[in-house]
């Protein structure tokens, strides 16, 4: 999974019929110190996340392993909202 | 599967229902000489690893198998703690 921050919503009227009713969020990937990277992903929300929240995103075929994304053309799903990170070694190990 | 080192823990109260009770850990992928490769990822801990330990983790949809639940949006899971590594071929020699 990757750590990300929800920065926006995607509205789409014309889409695959299996995607009707899904909520799409724009998630920017974060570094361990919460700094925002360039990478982003459009993810379906399965936990009720909102703009500004720190979330975890599961990608690939695992994204279809929820009741709301099962057998749908989805490759990223928000599956947790982060309360706290605990990283004993504050600087990245190199 | 990939070698890795646990570098931190994540608290997430709100998560997909089948993930309840599972701990999530930050994992830095390592090569056979235990040098960091790539970016840290988040993996579900199915065996009780702690920060600082060398582990191996399974990725993609196979990561759901050790969780013993029918469906879970998980793309990486820690499946073993490494006791020792005996390697004659080093990645840099290839």
Q: What is the CATH number of the domain that holds B63?
A: 2.40.50.220
Q: Reply yes or no on whether the pLDDT at A93 is more than 70.
A: no
Q: Report the chain B residue with the minimal C-alpha distance to residue A44.
A: B73
Q: Does B5 touch chain A (CB under 8 A)?
A: yes
Q: What percent of chain A has pLDDT over 90?
A: 82
In chain B, the number of structural domains is: 1
- Domain with A23 in it: what CATH number? 2.40.50.220
- pLDDT value at residue A94: 44
Task: List C-alpha distances in Å: B23 to A14, A38, B59, B60.
Answer: 38, 28, 16, 18
**Per-residue pLDDT tens digits for B3-45:** 999 999 999 999 999 999 899 999 999 988 888 999 999 999 9
Q: pLDDT-based confidence at A23, cuts 50/70/90?
A: very high
- pLDDT value at residue B88: 76
**Does residue A66 fall inside a structural domain?**
yes
In chain A, the number of structural domains is: 1
- Show the domain range for A43: 2-81
- Test the A interface: residue of B15, B73, B74 with most A CBs within 10 Å: B73
Residues B52-86 as b/e (b if ≥16 CB within 10 A, e otherwise) read: eebbbbbbebbbbebbebebbbbbbbbbbeeeeee
- pLDDT value at residue B67: 86
Q: pLDDT-based confidence at B92, cuts 50/70/90?
A: low
d(CA B10, CA A81): 10
Complex ipTM value: 0.79
Cα A63–B75–B67 angle (5° rounding)? 105
**Per-residue pLDDT tens digits for A35-79:** 999 999 999 999 999 999 999 999 999 999 999 999 999 999 999
Q: Which of A85, A81, A41, A78 is nearest to B73 (CA)?
A: A78
- Show the domain range for B65: 2-93
Are the beta carbons of B29 and B38 closer than 8 angstroms?
A: yes
Between residues 19 and 58 of chain B, which touch chain A (CB distance below 8 Å)? Answer: 19, 24, 26, 28, 36, 40-43, 51-52
**Does residue A76 fall inside a structural domain?**
yes
Q: pLDDT-based confidence at B61, cuts 50/70/90?
A: confident
What is the distance in angstroms between the Cα of A89 and the nearest Cα belonging to chain B?
7
Contact yes or no for A61 and B61 at CB 8 A: yes
d(CA A62, CA A69): 10
Q: Which of A29, A22, A25 is nearest to A8 (CA)?
A: A25
Structure-block tokens of residue A8: 């926006």
């Amino acid at each position: 999974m990757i750590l990300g921050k929800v920065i926006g919503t995607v509205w789409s009227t014309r889409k695959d019929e299996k995607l009707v009713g899904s909520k799409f969020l724009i998630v920017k990937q974060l570094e361990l110190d919460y700094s925002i990277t360039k990478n982003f992903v459009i993810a379906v929300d399965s936990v009720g996340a909102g703009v500004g929240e720190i979330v975890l995103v599961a990608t690939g075929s695992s994204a279809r392993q929820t009741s709301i994304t099962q057998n749908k053309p989805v490759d990223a799903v928000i599956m947790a909202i982060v309360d706290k990170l605990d990283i004993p070694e504050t600087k990245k190990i190199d | 599967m990939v070698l890795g080192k646990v570098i931190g823990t994540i608290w997430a109260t709100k998560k997909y229902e089948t993930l309840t009770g599972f701990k999530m850990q930050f994992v830095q992928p390592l090569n056979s000489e235990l040098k960091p490769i790539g970016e840290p990822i988040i993996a579900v801990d199915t065996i009780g690893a702690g920060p600082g330990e060398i582990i191996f983790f399974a990725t993609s949809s196979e990561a759901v198998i050790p969780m013993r639940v029918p469906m879970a949006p998980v793309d990486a899971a820690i499946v073993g703690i490494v006791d020792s590594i005996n390697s004659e071929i080093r990645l840099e020699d290839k």
